[in-house]
Chains A and B, each alone.
Chain A
Amino acid sequence: MIKVLHPGLHTTFQDIGRFGVAQYAIPQSGVMDEYAAKLANLLLQNKANYPVLEISLFGPKLLFEKETELVCTGLKAKIQLNSVEVPINEVLAVKKGDVLHIQQVSEGNYVYLACNGGFISDVVFNSRSFYEGITPQEKVEKQDELAMSNSYQLARASTEKHAQLKFQKEQYKNDILEVFEGPEFHCLSQVQQDKLLNAKFHLSKNYNRMAFQIEEIFSNQLESIITSPVIPGTVQLTPDGKLIVLMKDAQITGGYPRVLQLGRKAISLLAQKRQNEAIQFQKLKI
């Protein structure tokens, strides 16, 4: 067990999300940065889709009631184990009674915490990803007891650690988001299409697990569409010119024109961008 001494700002369990429940309008959910979350599991030789704790900005303070191995992945964070600073992206051995405190995510938005063997939490529609109204909890709370699987061998990760597995931070320095055309891209004029694919945009202060909004106003004459399917990565353009990139907790339908669609890698990259950071869309061919 892990006892939550302090839950942090917004800490949730996430895995690869839900499949097969869009017919009930249940969002996909799942980790915002698939790359970082997957690496956390791989560093511990877990299966890539094991649930992880997704930690944003100010992280939790956790008391370990049994020994395990864990890793925090992400761009940069201030992490302490028993008040001693420890590195991100490296496997740590923890003993019974140890206290891990992820004080601050200092670069990017999300840090992922995985433990050897994985966590156990409520499975709802084949996923442990937290979502309000679907899972019993929407975020980790103070005094929660987080259960860990018993099915791991502590020696494994230390003896067979993959030397070649390393968090590739350079890829996050890129401001190019690879996109496909959205269903209503062709409704934009040639000039607007070029502008959308060549201009530099910046992230607004409005970003969360549902959507990241862009600061610049992109004037347009597109009409609303009849309510149609949207997925994580869909870029909607509102009549008043707001560009909204839908993320993992997005609703499953929307009524705004869908001008672009981010690829999966671009979603991971965008997930770690903060307010005022620049982004540029670059078209991929299907």
Chain B
Amino acid sequence: MKTTLKLERLMHKLKRIFQLGEQVLLVEFDMSISTEDLNVLLHYKIQLEDKYKNKNVEITNTYTCLSIRFKNANEFNLNTEKQLIKSFIECISLNENNSKFSPSVYHIPVCYKEEFAPDLAFLAGQLQLEQEEIIRLHSQATYTVYFIGFLPGFPYLGGLNEKLHFPRKNTPRLKIPKGSVGIGGQQTGIYPSSSPGGWQLIGNCPLEIFDVRRKTPSLFQAGDQIQFKVVDKKEHKEIQTQVEAGIYHIKSTTHD
């Protein structure tokens, strides 16, 4: 019974396939921003990556869309590919109803102390919550990485407790320090490098979220899950030192 329901859900989600310029096909789905739909989207993504293996085709996702970029677009007829992808996706829907995707849950240290949290007191006043309560709510949730966008390595995270939703600053800061953890609207995120930005800053993460020297430069990938672990200033400093020395191991667990 459960299986049948899932099949029906999968079958009607393709909205359209749109050609963007000479090189890119956008595969758009009728989906909501939910971890359930994200898993379906990533399931399609993995299947398509397999289909286009070794063909110089790059596939990325956002909330409800897959972007397929053909490096050598002149070797393909994108109109034909559109039809093929449509049939292919319908086929996946009929044949497979279990996502093979197994995300990791990363335990990410965050220090919420004042020097890293210039907006925590302000936010507490505005939201009428104790600062400790904000920290508790923020570090209790499990967040899902929907995709990496905006800045190299910047994870778009879903799952912020509704009590913590709060608009961005009207005037963005010119420089937000690397590792800053902030709230912007319904989202929370970590700045992988220092940059201008309008988010309300409530903490700092000592890890290298993005490191161009790594083979996989971004610490997170779409579908990963994150939990924030509260650390004090001393631990923050220690972790930073270990990260710099290359001896810090990020704690993670994998779901089956």
- Give the distance in Å from the alpha carbon of A182 to the alpha carbon of B28 in the complex: 13
Does residue B221 face the partner (Cβ distance < 8 Å to A)?
yes
Q: Does the CB pair A23–B60 fall under 8 Å? A: yes
- Give the distance in Å from the alpha carbon of A212 to the alpha carbon of B95 in the complex: 46
How distant is B148 from chain A, measured CB to nearest CB, in Å? 4
Asked whether A286 and B19 contact (CB < 8 A) given A124-B212, A133-B212, A226-B63, the answer is yes
Does residue B232 face the partner (Cβ distance < 8 Å to A)?
no
Task: Report, as a range, how many residues of chain A touch the other chain.
Answer: 20 to 34
Across the interface, which residues of A come within 8 angstroms of B94, CB to CB?
none
Which one of B28, B150, B221 lies within 8 Å of A23 (CB-CB)?
B221
Asked whether A251 and B149 contact (CB < 8 A) given A134-B212, A226-B33, A229-B67, the answer is yes
Q: Does the CB pair A227–B62 fall under 8 Å? A: yes
Interface string of B139-159 (1 = CB under 8 A from A): 000000001111111101000
Q: Does the CB pair A262–B21 fall under 8 Å? A: yes
Does residue A89 face the partner (Cβ distance < 8 Å to B)?
no
Number of interface residues of B (CB under 8 A): 39
Does residue A180 face the partner (Cβ distance < 8 Å to B)?
yes
Across the interface, which residues of A come within 8 angstroms of B210, CB to CB?
24, 133
Across the interface, which residues of A come within 8 angstroms of B33, CB to CB?
226
- Give the distance in Å from the alpha carbon of A180 to the alpha carbon of B22 in the complex: 9
- Specify the chain B residue showing the minimal Cβ separation from A131: B152
Interface string of A215-253 (1 = CB under 8 A from B): 000000000001111010110000000000000000111
Q: Does the CB pair B22–A263 fall under 8 Å? A: yes
Which one of A22, A24, A226, A252 lies within 8 Å of B217 (CB-CB)?
A24
Does residue A172 face the partner (Cβ distance < 8 Å to B)?
no
- Specify the chain A residue showing the minimal Cβ separation from B213: A124
Does residue B180 face the partner (Cβ distance < 8 Å to A)?
no
Across the interface, which residues of A come within 8 angstroms of B60, CB to CB?
22-23, 229, 252
Asked whether A22 and B64 contact (CB < 8 A) given A183-B18, A226-B33, A231-B21, the answer is no
- Specify the chain A residue showing the minimal Cβ separation from B71: A19
Across the interface, which residues of A come within 8 angstroms of B200, CB to CB?
none
- Give the distance in Å from the alpha carbon of A133 to the alpha carbon of B210 in the complex: 10
Does residue A155 face the partner (Cβ distance < 8 Å to B)?
no
Q: Does the CB pair B18–A25 fall under 8 Å? A: no
How distant is B103 from chain A, measured CB to nearest CB, in Å? 15
Q: Which chain A residues (116-162) contact chain B, with CB distance < 8 Å?
A: 124, 133-134
Q: Does the CB pair B58–A20 fall under 8 Å? A: yes
Q: Does the CB pair B20–A24 fall under 8 Å? A: no
Does residue A26 face the partner (Cβ distance < 8 Å to B)?
yes
Interface string of B205-244 (1 = CB under 8 A from A): 0000010100011100110000000000000000000000
Q: Does the CB pair A23–B22 fall under 8 Å? A: no
How distant is B69 from chain A, measured CB to nearest CB, in Å? 7
Interface string of B63-80 (1 = CB under 8 A from A): 111010101000000110
Q: Does the CB pair B24–A25 fall under 8 Å? A: no
- Specify the chain B residue showing the minimal Cβ separation from A180: B21
- Specify the chain A residue showing the minimal Cβ separation from B58: A20
Please name the 4 residue pairs, one residue from A and one from B, whose CB atoms are nearest each other, closest first. A253-B149, A229-B67, A24-B218, A25-B148
Ordered by A's residue number, 10 sampled pairs between the chains whose C-beta atoms are within 8 Å are A23-B148, A24-B210, A25-B148, A25-B154, A26-B152, A180-B20, A229-B20, A231-B20, A253-B147, A263-B21
New contact pairs (15) apart from A23-B221, A231-B69, CB-CB < 8 Å: A21-B217, A22-B58, A24-B152, A25-B153, A133-B212, A134-B152, A180-B20, A183-B28, A226-B63, A229-B67, A252-B60, A253-B149, A253-B150, A261-B20, A286-B78
